Amino acid sequence: AHFARSAGTYITVLDKVMKEDYALVRLQSGEKRYIPLDCLATVGPVSNPLHKIQKLGKAGRKRHLGRRPHVRGVAMNPIDHPMGGGEGRSSGGRPSCSPTGVIAKGFKTRKKKKPAPLVVETRKVAQVKIKLAKSGK
How does pLDDT run along the chain (137 residues), one tens digit per residue? Answer: 588 888 888 899 999 987 788 999 999 888 899 999 888 888 788 888 888 899 999 999 999 999 999 999 999 999 999 999 999 998 888 999 999 999 999 898 878 888 778 888 888 788 888 888 888 76
Of the candidates 2, 7, 40, 4, the one whose C-alpha atom is nearest the C-alpha of residue 23 is 40
What whole-number distance in Å separates Cα of residue 14 and Cα of residue 52?
A: 28
Q: Provide the whole-model pTM.
A: 0.61
Question: Rounded to the nearest 5°, which phi and psi values hold at 13?
Answer: -85, 120
Of the candidates 56, 78, 60, 76, the one whose C-alpha atom is nearest the C-alpha of residue 68 is 60
